[in-house]
Amino acid sequence: MFTLIQKRRWYFIISALLIVPGLVAMIYSTVAIGAPLRLSIDFTGGSLLELSFQQPVVVEDVRQVFADAGLADTTVQTIGAEGNVIVCAKPMEVETKEAILRTLEERFGAVTELRFESVGPTVGRETTRSAGLAILATSGAILVFVAIAFRNVPNALRYGICAITKMLHDVLVLLGIASILGLLAGWEVDSLFLTAILTVVGFSVQDVIVVFDRIRENIGRRRGEEFETIVNRSLLETLHRSLATQLNAIFVMVALILFGGVTIRQFMAVMAIGMVVGTYSSLFFAVPLLVVWERGELRHAFARLGGRRAPAT
């Protein structure tokens, strides 16, 4: 039989390679810009204005108009087609915005407002808090659900905890990637990013559940077989399904990224990365983790780690 699970040490190393750079980026980002991720106005409060000028404009000139209107900390970026700009500023009133638009029109010719968002600081703080609550609630609910679904298996809670650890693994990888892209490409994290993360969490638990389901079934049918062998068998049996399902989801997402609207491109990209990472970690993180735990290797590893550390102190 093709052995997958026996190579588990390698999988943990790959997972570490996926997570550690992100963690480093988040620490660096916290020092450099004051937050582990580049947060959008959804969380910090502020305003965003997307404009389309008929003639090309100089970014600095546009910024000056906002500065003259008392919005000093304004950034202006060009995006997409020529003449399209995104303006980020402090929260502003609709009246202020209209006045600025009139000034812009006088100076640079016809301008169309594509999008305008202004979020007060209180709303931003609340969104951040509810975001944290939402992630906690999802983790809790899924832990309970998995524990109930696997209640007939010995050590049911272990399955739940492995699923949750895997979930945290996926979330950490995504946050790390977002942090790196925030530093390198200026990607901002908004409430849609959060939606993507939560969806990935929901979907990625599916994969684990399918494999765990098969383990549960095989434990009942193949008594006497070693746990490691059972798990390996279950993994191989469900591999086709995991790949086929993910492939289909990826088809849809790639189509949306390539041909869909610009506004949800980042949302879909995060989701697609999350799906791939989620499938990987279901098969090569959550399942090996369960094996390591069931075989008591975890305690072993900690003891070895502790033993190594002891003389150093």
Partner 1 sequence: MQQRDIRLLILIVIVAVVAIWVSLPTNPGIHIAIGETTISRDIRVHQGLDLQGGMQVLLEADLPENQTVDADAMAAARKIVENRVNGLGVTEPVVQGIGSRRILVELPGIEDPEQAVANLRETGLMEWIDTGAQYLPPGTVVKTDMATSADAGETVTDTEAVTDTETIYHTVLTGKNLRDARVEFDQTGLPVIAFELDDEGARIFAEHTANNIGRYLAIALDKTIISCPRIEGAIPEGRGQITGSFSVDEAKATVLQLRYGALPIPLKIIDTRAVGPTLGQESVQRSIRAGTIGLIVVLLFMLIYYRLPGLLADLALLIYATLTLALFKLIPVTLTLPGIAGFLLSVGMAVDANILIFERMREELRQGRTLGRAVESGFRRAWTSILDSNVSTWITCGILFIFGNSFGASMVKGFALTLALGVLVSMFTAVVVTRTFMRTTVAVAGDDLRRKTWLLGI
Contact pick of 158, 256, 293, 297 for partner 1 (by CB under 8 A): 256
Stretch binding partner 1 (CB under 8 A), from 55-63, 68-76, 198-206, 287-295: 198-206
How many Cβ atoms sit within 10 Å of the Cβ of residue 285? 24
Alpha helices in 34-74 (DSSP H): 41-44, 59-68
| Token pair belonging to 148 | 């109930």
**Contact status, residue 120 vs residue 62, Cβ threshold 8 Å:** no
Contact pick of 260, 276, 293, 297 for partner 1 (by CB under 8 A): 260
| Token pair belonging to 275 | 């799906």
Find the shortest distance in angstroms from Cβ 257 to partner 1: 8
Find the shortest distance in angstroms from Cβ 94 to partner 1: 4
Q: Contact between 69 and partner 1 (CB under 8 A)? A: no
Q: Contact between 241 and partner 1 (CB under 8 A)? A: yes
Give, in degrees to the nearest 5, the angle at Cα 251 between 250 and 255: 110
Mask for 27-66, x = binds partner 1 (CB under 8 A) = --------------------x--x-x--------------
Find the shortest distance in angstroms from Cβ 122 to partner 1: 6
Q: Contact between 286 and partner 1 (CB under 8 A)? A: no
CA nearest neighbour of 231 among 204, 251, 202, 211: 211
**Contact status, residue 242 vs residue 203, Cβ threshold 8 Å:** no
Residue 120 or 186 having the CB closest to partner 1: 120
d(CA 74, CA 90): 7
